[in-house]
Amino acid sequence: MNDTPRLRVIDACAAQADDQKLVLRLPNDADPMALANGPDGLTGVERIELHFPHFTDGRAYSQAYLLRRRLRFTGDLRATGDVQIDQLLQIARTGFSSAVLKEGLDAADASRHLEQFAGFYQRDLAGNQRTA
Amino acid sequence: MYRYTEFDKAFVKSRAAQFRDQLERWESGQLSEDDFRPLRLLNGWYVQRHAPMLRVAVPYGELSSAQLRILARIAREYDTPSQSVYHSAMDAQAKLGSTQLPTNTAHFTTRTNVQFNWIPLDKAADVMDLLASVDMHGIQTSGNCIRNISCDERAGVAVDEIADPRPFAELMRQWTTLHPEFAYLPRKFKIAITGATEDRAATDWHDVGLRMIRNNAGELGFRVSVGGGMGRTPMIATVLREFLPWNQIMNYIEAVVRVYNRYGRRDNKYKARIKILVKAEGEQYIDDVEEEFRQIVELDGGPHTIPQVELDRVTAAFVAPVPVIHEGTVASMDAAASARFDRWVRRNVASHKDAALRIVTLSFKRLGQAPGDASAEQLERLADLADRFSSGEVRVTHTQNIVLPWVAAADLQALWEEASELGLASTNIGLMTDIIACPGGDFCALANARSIPIAQALADRYQDIDELDDIGDIDVHISGCINSCGHHHSGHIGVLGVDKDGKEWYQITLGGADGSEGSGKAQPGKVIGPSFSATEVPDAIEAILGTYRELREHREKGRYELFIETLRRTGLDPFKAAANGARAKEEVPA
């Protein structure tokens, strides 16, 4: 098993009830760096939601990197939209901490997809690195 | 060659298992066709005109004999369509005029990968397991991600080398493999690298082109150019850095790719390559990359700075093998054989940085087979040649030939004799019949016209070796559509298949260059007029070559001007006139 931190994978229907926090929703063409320089910055933000309009649109991966690595955002970073089982590993590795699966998919299927590799070449934001 | 560690081997096997799982979920209906397609593409599986196509990655073009034997086995045992698939394919192609479609064959591509055209999808997972047994895979050979890195085929053995680029190519292979941030870029992304003064990797035609250089202080670094590419908008890369210290290369490429991932166009796939972003944004793009690079280094801590110890570790994997030198003597040749052998040595054999060795190019351009095609039997015998004469190693070239990089000078005759028996000793490297061609309309779903019959017609016409020698060095490149897999833009003579009213037509371009010394600075060719029919193309090219032979001047050392030199000196007009004069009178293109 690799050391990818547990990504909280949420069924689409369960996500509706999970809405108590101060949430910032960013479209995938927004610049996270501009946000940090804005008047309020990220102060008080408990969760940032990044959107995948289609799973093949990879802009939110770079946003996640910038938020986690460069802006040191420590709250919940959530993937929404066309989130498929086969993207969860990348989502975990770019610094997301939760993901809302596309409607109809079962979060119970997720865990084995997060454990398919013993390690990766890149030192990514999930703390993975090569083990040999 | 780089030897896979236990980590590398386990990684490739995990990927094969992941793909098997995805394939099974698609077969059982859990994954829809639309959701499966990008996943299979990221593993090199296309669905083409008649059947699936598998593209196997050959990192920076290096193959071992053990890998060749597995490719031979895949060709023999798996590259076989069912009778019904083959019959319907033959029926469809017969309407275009094709009378044969090779099966049980591997194809070397212009990005130094290997393709198979007939493997059924239900055998896909078994083939991936077989590939994994020799550390091979199809990871990122398709899809909108960072593709296989291509390299100088003479890396590590070239006499004009500043530094061996392979350790860097390997470090980049590792860094790009399943990079989580860059698997869904706006479009595909291709990197080429060379460490020699001569550019044999067409670096300026790539999304990122890297040339190793030394600065005035003698330090090693990269000249980094970005935004080259072919397709419907051919573009030559822009130099972003004249000198980047070697240890910063991955931080810098991360900046290049991140800016592209964020700002590259996604609304139109024909405008989604990085070249369009570089062209549209100009200086702004360069400033954005430089700022991102600064922040990666200063704020993120330069996470991909290559430590010297890591470079040393990877470099140690590329130690030169102990050359295989055979005992005994070769049979004496008669005068005619001796002349043929000498000619082959002059044309297909190059000097090596080890004076006792030579670099030999085996030609995969010969009558009866498509450019870059190898049968299962030929792959098997090629593996034997590699073991006997080249320390078990070969290189795939972007011109779709095979290089043996470690041949003892004393073995050349024995190698030539065996390669001749195999049909791999055509004395034509760099000549008229060393044609680059994509699979075209015989196999590819995107093609507008067939490429292989044009290549074959030209090969048929130019079999006289004295005539070939007289025409001299020339690059003829054929693509079946504007996607340009056959690199027609960079051909001195380029042929592009176009579709007009459902019929095959061909545009001819002149004056393209791949950026090598002989061809001059990289540039796309210019279209010379309305398109030609398939039967007119060889006549038009013959007329163009005839014009060259009339107009060329003598140069120093008793040699003639090369075709491309004459073309540059006189301009295109006389060549255009000759080509247009060769049109059939009864056929009028639409």
Residue B408 in domain: yes
Q: How many domains does chain B have?
A: 4
Q: Show which of B356, B391, B422 is a domain's final residue.
A: B422
Taking an 8 Å cut-off on Cβ atoms, the answer to whether A70 and B295 are in contact is yes
> Taking 90 as the threshold, does the pLDDT of residue B124 lie above it?
yes
End-to-end CA distance of chain B: 52
> Taking 50 as the threshold, does the pLDDT of residue B207 lie above it?
yes
Please indicate if any CB of chain B lies within 8 Å of the CB of A130: yes
By CB neighbour count within 10 A (0-12 exposed, 13-18 middle, 19+ buried), where does B34 fall?
A: exposed
CA distance A119 to chain B (A): 8
Q: Show which of B393, B422, B451 is a domain's final residue.
A: B422
Chain B contact probe: residue of A59, A70, A101 with most B CBs at under 10 A: A59
Tokens matching residue B531: 């398109």
Q: Does one domain contain both B367 and B275?
A: no
Taking the C-alpha atoms of residue B289 and residue B110, their distance in angstroms, rounded to an integer, is 29
Q: Does one domain contain both B167 and B312?
A: yes
Q: Does one domain contain both B86 and B164?
A: no
Reported as a single tens digit per residue, the pLDDT across B314-340 is: 999 998 998 777 766 678 899 999 999
Confidence of residue B187 (pLDDT cuts 50, 70, 90): very high
Residue B531 in domain: yes
Please indicate if any CB of chain A lies within 8 Å of the CB of B297: no
Res B557: pLDDT: 75
Average pLDDT over residues B547-555: 94
Res A15: pLDDT: 73
Q: Show which of B317, B347, B368 is a domain's final residue.
A: B317
Q: Does one domain contain both B440 and B416?
A: no
Torsion angle, CA of B96/B56/B62/B134, rounded to 10 degrees? Answer: -140
Handedness of CA B577, B582, B584, B589 (dihedral sign): negative
CATH code (residue B24): 3.90.480
Of B579, B553, B564, B577, residue with least CA distance to B511: B564
Count interface pairs A-B at CB distance under 8 A: 83
Per the prediction, chain B carries an average pLDDT of 96
Taking the C-alpha atoms of residue A14 and residue A1, their distance in angstroms, rounded to an integer, is 27
Q: Does one domain contain both B168 and B311?
A: yes
Residue B248 in domain: yes
Is the separation of the CB atoms in A89 and A122 below 8 Å? no
Res B61: pLDDT: 97
User: Model pTM?
Assistant: 0.95
Q: Does one domain contain both B480 and B365?
A: no
Reported as a single tens digit per residue, the pLDDT across B463-514 is: 999 999 999 999 999 999 999 999 999 999 999 999 998 899 999 999 999 9
> Taking 90 as the threshold, does the pLDDT of residue B22 lie above it?
yes
Is the separation of the CB atoms in B238 and B280 below 8 Å? no
Res B506: pLDDT: 98
Taking the C-alpha atoms of residue B154 and residue B22, their distance in angstroms, rounded to an integer, is 38
Confidence of residue B73 (pLDDT cuts 50, 70, 90): very high
Q: For A72, name the nearest residue in chain B, comparing CA atoms only.
A: B300
Is the separation of the CB atoms in A103 and A131 below 8 Å? no
Residue B428 in domain: no
Res A17: pLDDT: 64
Q: Which residues pair with A48 in a beta bridge?
A: A24, A77
CATH topology of domain A8-114: TIM Barrel (3.20.20)
Nearest to A62 among B10, B15, B261 (CB): B261
CA distance B25 to chain A (A): 11
**Residue ranges in chain A modelled with pLDDT below 50:** 1, 131-132
Please indicate if any CB of chain B lies within 8 Å of the CB of A30: no
CA distance A58 to chain B (A): 5
Chain A contact probe: residue of B3, B11, B15, B184 with most A CBs at under 10 A: B184
Res A1: pLDDT: 42
Please indicate if any CB of chain A lies within 8 Å of the CB of B529: no
> Taking 70 as the threshold, does the pLDDT of residue B70 lie above it?
yes
Residue B21 in domain: yes
Reported as a single tens digit per residue, the pLDDT across B519-541 is: 999 999 999 999 999 999 999 99
> Taking 80 as the threshold, does the pLDDT of residue B573 lie above it?
yes
For residue A103, the chain B residues in CB contact (below 8 A) are none
* Strand order from edge to edge, sheet including B526-527: B436-437, B476-479, B493-500, B503-510, B526-527
Q: For B20, name the nearest residue in chain A, comparing CA atoms only.
A: A116
Res B574: pLDDT: 98
CATH code (residue B206): 3.30.413.10
Please indicate if any CB of chain B lies within 8 Å of the CB of A59: yes
Of B489, B564, B484, residue with least CA distance to B527: B489
Q: Which domain holds residue B58?
A: 6-132
> Taking 90 as the threshold, does the pLDDT of residue B385 lie above it?
yes
Please indicate if any CB of chain A lies within 8 Å of the CB of B261: yes
Q: What is the ipTM of this complex?
A: 0.94
Q: For B42, name the nearest residue in chain A, comparing CA atoms only.
A: A56
Look-up: residue for tokens 């369009």? B276
Average pLDDT over residues B59-85: 97
Taking the C-alpha atoms of residue A118 and residue B534, their distance in angstroms, rounded to an integer, is 53
